Chains A and B, each alone.
Chain A
Amino acid sequence: MNATIEKPRVRLVMTDTNRDALQNKELVYKTSELNLWYGDNHALKNIDLDIYENEVTAIIGPSGCGKSTYIKTLNRMIELVPGVKTSGKIEYRGRNIFDKSYGVEELRTRVGMVFQKPNPFPKSIYENVVYGPKIHGIKDKKVLDQIVEESLKGAAIWDEVKDRLNENAFGLSGGQQQRLCIARCLAIEPDVILMDEPTSALDPISTLKVEELVQKLKKEFSIIIVTHNMQQAARISDKTAFFLNGEVIEFTNTDKIFSNPADKRTEDYITGRFG
């Protein structure tokens, strides 16, 4: 959207900050010198990335480049994998998420996640949506009812399911299940939504619905989306980061990275020469 004031640069991390400061956008995530190892495998190397409010940041790159690892590090979900070590800093709203005093549960109440495969609980649609709020101690039935309606509306699935809230979520189609998972994520009223290839298991029509949803949601949330699909990144994101072998090769405005990439490797990947 601001391609006109764009200047060519190689690593745009710092200069982007300046530009966004001009736009009065607030920094949500500031990653500095993040390194991550799975045992001996050095999966993320010196990552520096700034993520701003109310934007869609897409992360692209070939399989095994560390993009999923990175997004899972943002809510520390990666720690479920045994043998993971990290160094460096990720500041979320000014606080280092690796601080001992920062509980993962606290972080995850503000940072929601949508996964690759739709993963509703084997419960009713209603129970799926209220799971998060209930976990956080909300018991008032009226409030919960309201949360269910607003979250399902927010995820553009209300009209399809409003008459069968008490039916099992497994009765929904794959695309509906994924939007239910997005509704479930909205129900905890997060600040950031992480999406790990949310449409890779969906058909094209469901994919389109989710993409439209992402466009709508960015007005209220900051969204970070990992995708294999470059057209998708081009369609829905404001900024795009290209990962390769655990490094950020290029991070800039989406229209710029797709029209005029600064790095040869980015160009090769985008034009389909590898990956």
Chain B
Amino acid sequence: MKLIDHTKVLKHMKPRIVSNIFFRLLFMAATIFGLLILGILLYRVITQGIGYLDFQFLQNLPSRKPEQAGVKTALIGTIWLMGVVAPVTLLLSVGTAIYLEEYAQKSRFTRFIQVNISNLAGVPSIVFGLLGLTVFVRALALGTSVLAAGLTMSLLVLPIIIVASQEAIKAVPKELREASYGMGATKWQTILHVVLPAAIPGILTGGILALSRAIGETAPLVVLGLPLFLAFLPKSVFDMFTVLPMQIYNWTGRPQEEFQGVAAAGIIVLLTMLIIMNSIAVFIRNKFQKRY
């Protein structure tokens, strides 16, 4: 058989190798572009804000004077918000994921639910803000409280955690379930002792990443009407509060030049929180990941 002319093949060699190198460089450039932008952002924020960032900044209430302004109310408010969002979303989403994956019969109805959960994950956050305003703030008369904002944020991240939890549950090998059922375990015992321990790293990773999204989200809270300036701390979930992104938004809108620096310092605090949370997610994933 002489269907391939090897001199021709050799002639083609060079353009093939050139395009190979070209695409490698192209993809590398794409990666470097993202890194560069991130670097510029971090550089600007840190050089602008580092001067205002000290222990006092974390301790002080907001103020009209830039040198006295602090993030205490916003920081504590963000922690309060997480205190509502984390338990509500984890309970609801893990419950939903377990039901859909383990109990529900695969029917047209469950497929319908599935598609809609995925759709909800793509709904713009401002729409969730409007929903929260109508339902929690007005209809349930919760006002601009921690609870109202927390429930709104929970709705926003719920679909993300449900999908992540479903994936984690699906990844548990069927052989492990069979082993458990084969010894006479009930469905719930199997879920509790076999499925959840294996799925929890995935569920928590998805959960923490979704919570970091909730921390940075501003639009729905603007719609809810959270105060931009608040000089006291919430004492319960029914109290008014504000969060870091709102505080930063407020500062960037101030006419004084100094407040730009204060806002940058606020961004550093917010980014630090995000990095800590993402690190926890990575840590959990590496520590508890099990091989099968």
Contact = CB atoms under 8 A, between A and B. Distances in A.
B179 interface: yes
B291 interface: yes
A181 interface: yes
B178 A188 contact: no
B186 interface: yes
A132 B176 contact: no
A106 B290 contact: no
Given A77-B178, A119-B179, A122-B198, A135 B290 contact: no
A135 B183 contact: yes
A98 interface: no
For chain B, give the interface size range: 20 to 34
Contacts, number: 68
B290 A122 contact: yes
B282 interface: no
Given A121-B194, A122-B198, A122-B290, A135 B185 contact: yes
A117 B182 CA distance: 14
Interface in A59-80: 75, 77, 80
A104 B186 CA distance: 9
Interface residues of A, number: 27
A109 B184 CA distance: 5
B292 interface: yes
A119 B198 CA distance: 14
B175 interface: yes
Interface in A102-160: 104-109, 112-113, 115, 117, 119-122, 131-132, 135-136
Contacts of B181: 77, 80, 104, 108
B180 A131 contact: yes
Contact of B182 (A77, A82, A120, A122): A77
A89 to B, nearest CB: 22
A56 B259 CA distance: 83
B95 to A, nearest CB: 22
- Between B182, B189, B194, B291, the greatest number of chain A beta carbons within 10 A of the residue's beta carbon is seen for B182
A112 B194 contact: no
Contact of A115 (B175, B186, B198, B290): B175
A94 B106 CA distance: 35
B193 interface: yes
Interface of A: 75, 77, 80, 82, 104-109, 112-113, 115, 117, 119-122, 131-132, 135-136, 170, 181, 184-185, 188
